[in-house]
Chain A
Amino acid sequence: MVSSKYIYYLFLVNALMNIINFVPRVLIFTRFQGTLPSIFISTAIGALLLYGFTKGIAGFKGQGLPEIFNANLPRFFSFFLLIMYACFWFSAGIITMLSFVDITVRYISPDISPYAVIIGFLLLSAICCRLSSESILYGLETILFLSTPVIIYMLVKAFLNPNFSWDAVLQIVTYMWTKPKYVTVAGATFIFSGFFNLAIFNRNFKELKTRYLWTIPLFGLVILLITFVVPIGYQGTVGVENHVYSWFSTADSIRMELFIIERVLFLFYTIYLMISMLSTVVHWHVGLELFKGAFQSKSGKLPGKKADWWVLIPFSIATIVIMNFLNQVRLGQIGQWFLNIRLINEFVLLAILFYAKKRSAKKT
Chain B
Amino acid sequence: MGKKQGEQGAAWLSEKMSGQVDFEQRSLGSSDEIGLQYLSSLTNSDMINRYIVIPSYEMESLQAFENYIASFPGTVQAGERQQIIEFVLKGFVLISIGKSGYLFNAVKVESSGVGEAVNEAIVQGPRDAFSENIELNINLIRRRYQSETLKIDMLTVGKVSRTSVAILYDDERVDRQVLKEMKKRIENVKIDILQSAGELEKYISPERVRIFPTMIVTERPDRVVFNIAEGKVAVLINSNGFAILAPSIFSDFFTAMDDKIQVPMVGWFLKTIRYIGLLLTLTLPSLYVTFASYNPEILKIQISLLIAGSRAAVPYPSFMEVFLMLLMMEFLTEASLRLPKAIGPTATTVGGLILGQAATQAGLVSNIMIILVSAVAISNFIIPISMMGYTIRVIKYIMTLFAITFGLLGVVGSVVGLIMYLSGIRSFGRPYMKMYALEIKSKGGQ
Q: List 23 A-B contacts (CB under 8 A).
A: A104-B409, A108-B409, A109-B408, A112-B294, A116-B405, A117-B406, A120-B406, A120-B409, A121-B413, A131-B420, A131-B423, A132-B424, A135-B420, A139-B424, A141-B435, A142-B433, A143-B416, A145-B435, A263-B298, A273-B409, A273-B413, A273-B416, A274-B415
Q: Which of A3, A111, A142, A209 touches B419 (beta carbons < 8 Å)?
A: A142
Q: Please state if B409 and A266 are interface contacts (CB–CB under 8 Å).
A: no
Q: Is B345 an interface residue (CB 8 A)?
A: no
Contact flags A132-154 to B (C-beta < 8 A → 1, else 0): 10111011011101000000000
Q: Please state if B445 and A134 are interface contacts (CB–CB under 8 Å).
A: no
Contact residues on A (Cβ < 8 Å of other chain), bracket: 35 or more
Q: Is A270 an interface residue (CB 8 A)?
A: yes
Q: Is A262 an interface residue (CB 8 A)?
A: yes
Determine the main DSSP class of B at the interface with A: helix
**B4 → chain A closest CB, angstroms:** 52
Contact flags A117-134 to B (C-beta < 8 A → 1, else 0): 100110010011001101
Taking CB atoms, residues of chain B closer than 8 Å to A211 are: 445
Taking CB atoms, residues of chain B closer than 8 Å to A200 are: none
**A288 → chain B closest CB, angstroms:** 15
Taking CB atoms, residues of chain B closer than 8 Å to A111 are: 294
Taking CB atoms, residues of chain A closer than 8 Å to B299 are: 260-262
Taking CB atoms, residues of chain A closer than 8 Å to B445 are: 3-5, 209, 211
Q: Please state if B442 and A5 are interface contacts (CB–CB under 8 Å).
A: yes
* A124 touching B413 in the complex, CB below 8 Å, given contacts A109-B408, A135-B431, A266-B298: yes
Interface positions, chain B 415-437, Cβ under 8 Å from A, are: 415-417, 419-420, 422-424, 431, 433-435
Q: Is B303 an interface residue (CB 8 A)?
A: yes
Q: Please state if B417 and A127 are interface contacts (CB–CB under 8 Å).
A: yes
Q: Please state if A273 and B424 are interface contacts (CB–CB under 8 Å).
A: no
4 nearest interchain CB pairs? A139-B423, A138-B423, A135-B424, A128-B420
**B34 → chain A closest CB, angstroms:** 56
A contact residues vs B (CB 8 Å cutoff): 3-5, 104, 108-109, 111-112, 116-117, 120-121, 124, 127-128, 131-132, 134-136, 138-139, 141-143, 145, 209, 211, 259-263, 266, 269-270, 273-274, 277-278, 281
* Complex: A238 Cα to B300 Cα, angstroms: 31
B contact residues vs A (CB 8 Å cutoff): 294-295, 298-301, 303, 405-410, 412-413, 415-417, 419-420, 422-424, 431, 433-435, 438-439, 442, 445-446
Taking CB atoms, residues of chain B closer than 8 Å to A109 are: 294-295, 407-409
Q: Please state if A124 and B417 are interface contacts (CB–CB under 8 Å).
A: yes
Q: Please state if B420 and A117 are interface contacts (CB–CB under 8 Å).
A: no
**A335 → chain B closest CB, angstroms:** 21
Closest chain B residue, CB of each to CB of A144:
B435
Q: Please state if A112 and B420 are interface contacts (CB–CB under 8 Å).
A: no
**B254 → chain A closest CB, angstroms:** 14
**B284 → chain A closest CB, angstroms:** 13
Q: Please state if A116 and B406 are interface contacts (CB–CB under 8 Å).
A: yes
Taking CB atoms, residues of chain B closer than 8 Å to A281 are: 420
- With A134-B431, A266-B408 already in contact, 6 other A-B pairs whose C-beta atoms are closer than 8 Å: A108-B295, A139-B420, A139-B433, A259-B300, A270-B412, A281-B420
Taking CB atoms, residues of chain A closer than 8 Å to B420 are: 128, 131, 135-136, 139, 281
* Complex: A277 Cα to B420 Cα, angstroms: 11
Taking CB atoms, residues of chain B closer than 8 Å to A278 are: 416
**A323 → chain B closest CB, angstroms:** 15
Q: Please state if B433 and A138 are interface contacts (CB–CB under 8 Å).
A: yes
**B243 → chain A closest CB, angstroms:** 28
* Complex: A128 Cα to B422 Cα, angstroms: 11
Q: Please state if A128 and B408 are interface contacts (CB–CB under 8 Å).
A: no
Taking CB atoms, residues of chain B closer than 8 Å to A131 are: 420, 423-424
**B439 → chain A closest CB, angstroms:** 7
Q: Please state if B412 and A112 are interface contacts (CB–CB under 8 Å).
A: no
Q: Please state if B419 and A143 are interface contacts (CB–CB under 8 Å).
A: yes
* Complex: A117 Cα to B412 Cα, angstroms: 12
* Complex: A143 Cα to B420 Cα, angstroms: 9
Q: Which of A3, A108, A124, A136 touches B446 (beta carbons < 8 Å)?
A: A3
Q: Please state if A142 and B423 are interface contacts (CB–CB under 8 Å).
A: yes
Closest chain A residue, CB of each to CB of B411:
A270
* Complex: A270 Cα to B409 Cα, angstroms: 8
* A117 touching B434 in the complex, CB below 8 Å, given contacts A143-B416, A261-B298: no
* Complex: A116 Cα to B295 Cα, angstroms: 16
